[in-house]
Structure 1
Amino acid sequence: MKRLGCLALAASMVFGALGAAHAATEVKMTGDARVYGNFFENRNFTGWNKAGTKTEDTFEIWERFRLRSDFVANEAVKFRLGLKVEDVWGHGTFTAANPDAATSLQVDLAYLQFKVPGCDNIQVTAGLQDVNLPQSALFYNSPVFSDKMAALTITAPLIDNTLSVITGFGRLIDTNRTYDATTTQRADELDAYFLALPVTLEGFKATPWGMVAVAGRNADYSYKDTTDTVDSGNSFANTLVSAASSRNMTTSGQLGSWKNSQNPYFWVGGAFEVTALDPVRFYADVIYGAGATSDHKASSRGGWMIDAGAEYTGLEVVTPQVFAFWSTGEDKSTRNGSERMPYMRSAWGPGNSFLFDDSQELGKGSNMYASPVGNYGIGASLNNISFIDKLTNRLTFVYMRGNNSPRAIRDAVLNYSNTYFTMGHDLTTNEYLMGLNFDTKYMIYENLAAVMETGWAHGQFQQSVWGHRLAHEANNNDNNAWKVAFGLTYKF
């Protein structure tokens, strides 16, 4: 009963005021910096952006600096402010003179965090924070959502050292803010509610979780799911809706073809890790997601994604890993909705794979940005290779194929003007990708490292699906893409 009382107290205090702190505020700072050159040949296998309207610049020098400042009133209360500067040399922040002030400095974290009085093991966090839905460690982060979110979260134990709860609410989009454009109410928000229940036993960890998002028809979903350097061609909405819903989207990104003013989306899943047979460890995830199921049939979207892997940690010089994943794909028709799992901000991938946007340290323009959703694959990695002091390496290979009907993708490419599918990101059942990466890190000092990440990818694409122009250009490059990135990273 005491735990339930503490949880109720936490919920009631979320919108209340904290007492004034009487102790002097302590400021703690951490951060990181990275400067690196990136040579990338044949992005998207064509040397163009996803839409085929821009050509690549093969060499860039990127610089990023992040500062995390914690303003600590006492052990129970703090505020974190995170600032970031990031751009290429010769542009914006890093021009020789007169940098663009609008892009010089970004606030990427800003949240208040405190423990509930009398229930010190219950923690409340409110503000712009990292929100990562549960995923087993072998696969880095969530394919559904892993990013910054303006949110309110509460974490609390239910059974000491065994069961806890993480719950929260976040607002991802509020297009018109205080006032709508007219005197008619507009559904212009995208909200999310999430819950996770981590269970930890000896040799076993399981985290069942769920999330519900309410998507407004008039919200602006044109926010890109990647940066301009990636130029995936996919708007935020494309990762949620069906091709039919996406077809009539206006230039501002509104979902004009929905009949409902708001549509719910939901995800349920579980992340599992087994260490009872250590040094052999097993990992797995199961996720189902669906949305707009009460709208037009053509507007609905729903599907599965599962992954599994194993590693052997008993060797000092290397950690071998094997893994596989599978996700439902589109059937032959785009008029009966989508059979792919909806998602919002994905950061998933095993072994630092060059195919996926995952754990690359030298991040911008770091991979092929292929989607695991709608595809399946297998792979292996030799992780933590270490024969020389302070020097570690990683070698990873992944082979993947599509679960999507060629007919459905061809129909969307020919008839929908918003680039719902893109070559190399979405694969048909007749297409495949393979990717190889070899990564190296040398610790110059305790906090300073020299990092090199290399990658190679090869694909096979259907000209009848993507058209002669894109497929022919990829074929001119032997359907190969590769990159070499080298730089310095510093953490303090």
Structure 2
Amino acid sequence: MKRICTLLLAAGMLLGAATGASAIDFKAKGQWLVGFGVAETNPIYKHREGNVKTKNTSDQFGAQQRVRLQLDAVASEALSGTVFFEIGNQTWGKADQGGALGADGTNVIKVKRAYIDWAVPDTDLKFRMGIQGVALPNKAGGSAIMDTDAAAVTASYQFNENVGLTALWARPANDNFDGVDPRYTNNHANYLDNMDLFALMVPVKLDGFEITPWAMYGMQGKNTLATPFTTKDGDLNYSLYPYPGIAGRDNIGGTSKAYGSMFWAGLPFAITAWDPLNIEVDINYGYVESMGRFDAYKGPMDPANFKRGSTERQGWLAKALVEYKMDWGVPGIFGWYGSGDDGNVKNGSERMPSIVPMGNFTSFLGDGNYGWMYTDFAVDYSGTWGLGLQIRDMSFVEDLKHTFRVAYWGGTNSTAMVKYMNNASSWADGYNTDVNGPYLTTNDGLLEFNLVNSYQMYENFDVNLELGYIVNFMDNDTWKKAGERNSSFQKQDMWKAQLIFAYSF
């Protein structure tokens, strides 16, 4: 209640300022989401490790809501400030989210973004400073590297109507280290725990052609990931470390390096010159320097059964989309291929690293619809390949649209990697709301179906029904080789149905 009163007081002060300072124009916009869904999103029904049985017992039905409010204080075209509040997600019935009896919760109201925009007088040089949305240039299926909110400074300059330049400095992590790390003595809290990213982007727009080459250099301190901390959109321990189920914080050795280098580059482009044909392509590369080694056990935890693994990670990914616009809808074909692990832990991982990827080719394994409720997945497609067909924005009745997709997911990771995994459920370690997506070997696969129906009841009010199903082609014989002892497990298909009511203004 105290947080809500604080928010209302702040809004009142801003509105009061608008009355006394007519030169400032206040603009408000926002979105209310209320959703109901039933789903099974765990690919493992049950598994056994020795004498211990673990069965999936997660709830299948849920109800949630979320409110986002944005207020812009505009002094002129050259100066403005923005604050963006988020209330939720609130799961109905959950006390600490304010959804239980009495509706008083903690940590419900959050400042999602807060930044200022300003321009250098008499120039085309513009700056944005503060917590802001940062999405690296992308085409064909969303960003495979970073699409999230972060504390950053961006500077952009438009040379002419065709060519521009954008520079970025972002600090996604700093001052999270609690000083407790058994790898080192004389630890100091908040020491060498920052991560900084520096990027340059060159957007080029020509008649019927767009391309934005970009590159980003990063540096992470040796203590950046030493203390567990979570983010809403992703988990850096999965997107930067080599393998799920192997290289956790607890078993990575120390390093003499104060900082490690990171590097990414991308070449996204789109061809629209042949309208109604649309072609999009995105090529990415990423590298993260090794920051310590770890013991990767193959079989029982015995000195004779382990190799020293490297935390280096580097790889590449290519994505493409071809669409043809028609009167009744937009049929298209899409696909991707990402490099995979070669089975040798000594040379690190060959999957492309990322910060917070947001793949959106599909809407179950991906962010292709609202990306909310059961399926707010940060998918980067690393270590996988896929091919899909879609027909989007089909409309046969006024104000009602449909999008249908079918996509096959395959793996590019060596089956030899399974021997180093903890257990059969390691296949699912990369599959939950905090991380990047499933870890698939060359013997595994998924077949995904999506049907999204959107009805615009009023100008600002949509009703969205999404149905999804994933056929699980996880290879039993491959994954029974996981862990210290052979694992027995029972896989299952995944499915969902969710109904979302969205009011936007």
TM range (shorter): 0.7 to 0.9
| Aligned partner of 1:412 among 421, 425, 435 | 421
The residue matched to 2:310 in structure 1 has which SS?
helix
Identity of paired residues, percent? 25
Which runs of 5 or more residues in structure 2 are unaligned? 1-19, 48-52, 181-185, 294-308
Once residues 229 and 387 of structure 2 are traced to their aligned partners in structure 1, the CA distance between those partners, rounded to angstroms, is 31
Matched residue, 2:39: 40
State the 1:481 CA deviation.
Answer: 1.1
Question: How has the CA–CA distance of structure 1 residues 47 and 88 changed in structure 2, closer, same or farther, with 3 Å as cutoff?
Answer: farther
Once residues 45 and 91 of structure 2 are traced to their aligned partners in structure 1, the CA distance between those partners, rounded to angstroms, is 22
| Aligned partner of 2:217 among 204, 212, 230 | 212
Matched residue, 2:204: 199
Matched residue, 2:146: 145
Once residues 472 and 466 of structure 1 are traced to their aligned partners in structure 2, the CA distance between those partners, rounded to angstroms, is 9
Matched residue, 2:132: 129
Deviation string, structure 1 residues 7-55 (Cα, Å, up to 9, x no partner):
xxxxxxxxxxxxxx9863221100111101011025335389xx96862
| Aligned partner of 1:335 among 342, 346, 353 | 346
Give 1:53-452 correspondences, 5 Å limit. 55-86=57-88, 87-91=90-94, 92-97=97-102, 99-101=104-106, 103-119=107-123, 121-136=124-139, 138-139=140-141, 141-158=142-159, 160-176=160-176, 186-220=191-225, 222-224=228-230, 235-243=235-243, 247=247, 249-250=249-250, 256-292=253-289, 298-313=310-325, 315-350=326-361, 352-356=362-366, 358-361=367-370, 363-366=372-375, 372-413=381-422, 425-452=438-465
The residue matched to 2:420 in structure 1 has which SS?
helix
The residue matched to 1:237 in structure 2 has which SS?
helix
Deviation string, structure 1 residues 69-105 (Cα, Å, up to 9, x no partner):
001122211110000011111122222215222x220
State the 1:420 CA deviation.
Answer: 6.7
Which runs of 5 or more residues in structure 1 are unaligned? 1-20, 228-233
Once residues 259 and 54 of structure 1 are traced to their aligned partners in structure 2, the CA distance between those partners, rounded to angstroms, is 42
Once residues 255 and 383 of structure 2 are traced to their aligned partners in structure 1, the CA distance between those partners, rounded to angstroms, is 23
Query: TM-score, length-normalised on structure 1?
Result: 0.83
Contact 1:39 1:484 in 2 (8 A): yes
> Relative to structure 2, which stretch is displaced further, 103-112 or 89-98?
89-98
Once residues 425 and 408 of structure 2 are traced to their aligned partners in structure 1, the CA distance between those partners, rounded to angstroms, is 29
Deviation string, structure 1 residues 352-380 (Cα, Å, up to 9, x no partner):
43222x13226121277665100101001
Once residues 46 and 215 of structure 2 are traced to their aligned partners in structure 1, the CA distance between those partners, rounded to angstroms, is 39
Once residues 245 and 446 of structure 1 are traced to their aligned partners in structure 2, the CA distance between those partners, rounded to angstroms, is 47
Question: How has the CA–CA distance of structure 1 residues 274 and 281 changed in structure 2, closer, same or farther, with 3 Å as cutoff?
Answer: same
Question: How has the CA–CA distance of structure 1 residues 210 and 463 changed in structure 2, closer, same or farther, with 3 Å as cutoff?
Answer: same
Once residues 168 and 304 of structure 1 are traced to their aligned partners in structure 2, the CA distance between those partners, rounded to angstroms, is 22
Deviation string, structure 1 residues 280-314 (Cα, Å, up to 9, x no partner):
1111011011120697682211101001120001x
